Structure 1
């Protein structure tokens, strides 16, 4: 299983939100590059970066912060938030981003996502953010009438290399990851699924890993619990690697 420490960017700083609410943010580091280097030193091999301002504005906003992260680490970095066109995708891939995450665009224009996946093989992931199983968009500000599983099915055999599945109701809450929701998506498609939202400790990483089903859960994003010191990095890396 792969682990992805999260660096969420708001106004150039590294923050964590409660249930995606921009008004409920906690700043953890004014220097995102420094935070990226710290995560790499802890032994993590991947990073998950979200441009929060960009997700709400519909365009990349924290560009300098993202570039600082890329300069500070050799780890592969996946990036989401405000990327809505091929020009933006290509620009970030050329800048060194290993995987671009498309969320709102996946709901509004799935054909665009499929074309992007063909043009940039193994570089396009879909972010599926859900409230009670229903997809949310525009930085989680709007809930749709589409079930998360139905959205996932649209991208089967399209070239999309991963799905990041977030239970918004648990995000930033440290109430435990939603293994059932993540597992159901993993079993719905043959696209690798990464869990996000609610991880409170290494027991959640283990629960995701040992969960039985048609397809294994590919990875997990680590957020507030890691920042708060509730997750021992060495133990987390060991469990994921076993």
Structure 2
């Protein structure tokens, strides 16, 4: 399993939200590029980036911060938030992103996901953010009647590189991931699944590793900044 340390960008700063509430943002670093360098220096194989403002605006907002990160790291990075058309996808991949994450458009324009996955094999992931099993879009601000597992299954033949599954009610709450729901989703599809939301301890990572489903990795943010999760120990556990 791969550990993806998260850098969530709001107004050019590295922040963490509580359950997706923009008003409940804690600033952890005002230099996101320095944070990315620190994660790479600690041995991380990937960096997970989110443009929080972009998720609400529907277009990239923290592009300068993302570009600064890409200019300073050598490990691959994936980005979600506000990526909703082919031109934006192409632009980010041309700038050096290893992978774009499509969330809102996966619900509103699934044909775009298929087109992008075909055009850029291995470089398009789908972000599925769910509250009580139902997908939320546009920075988690809009509820839908779309079932998370059914949405994942609909891309089974599209060639997407991964599904990033976030349980919104666990995100930033330091209460552990929804192992049961994540494992069920991973068993329902052949697409690699990355767990997100609430991963805050070595025990959480052990539970994900032992869940019986073939998870590709886990994303952690707040716990790494708070020191609740030691990055070196987490990397050693997931690689062991």
| TM superposition score normalised by structure 2 | 0.99
Quote the RMSD (CA, aligned, Å). Answer: 0.6
Alignment match, 1:222: 220
Structure 2: distance between partners of 1:233 and 1:18: 21
Matched with 2:50 is: 50
Tell me which residue corresponds to 1:182: 182
Alpha-carbon shift at residue 72 of structure 1 (Å): 1.5
In the other structure, the counterpart of 1:240 is: 238
Aligned to 2:203: 203
Note the C-alpha offset of 1:160. Answer: 0.4
Secondary structure of the structure 2 residue equivalent to 1:49: strand
1:169 aligned counterpart, secondary structure: helix
Q: What's the counterpart of residue 2 of structure 1? A: 2
Distance of 1:43 and 1:204 partners within structure 2: 20
Partner of 2:30: 30
Deviation at 1:211, TM superposition (A): 1.3
Query: Match of 2:155, SS?
Result: coil
Shift of 1:43: 1.1
Q: What residue is the counterpart of 1:140 in the other structure? A: 140
Residue segments in structure 2 that go unaligned for 5+ positions in a row: none
**Structure 2 Cα separation of the partners of residues 52 and 234 of structure 1:** 27
Structure 1 match to 2:110:
110
Structure 1 residue 111, shift from structure 2 partner: 1.3
Q: Which runs of 5+ in 1 are unaligned?
A: none
After superposition, the C-alpha distances for 1:84-140 in whole angstroms (9 at most, x for unaligned) are 011100100010000000000000011110111001110100000000000000000
For the residue of structure 2 that corresponds to 1:136, the secondary structure is: strand
Task: Describe the SS at the equivalent of 1:218.
Answer: strand
- Displaced runs of 4 or more, over 2 A: none
Q: Give distance in 2, aligned partners of 1:225 and 1:202.
A: 10
Hey, what's the Cα distance between the residues in 2 that align with 1:144 and 1:157? 23
Number of aligned residues: 240
Distance 1:3 1:232 in 2: 12
CA distance in 2, matches of 1:126, 1:141: 18
Q: Secondary structure at the match of 2:23?
A: strand
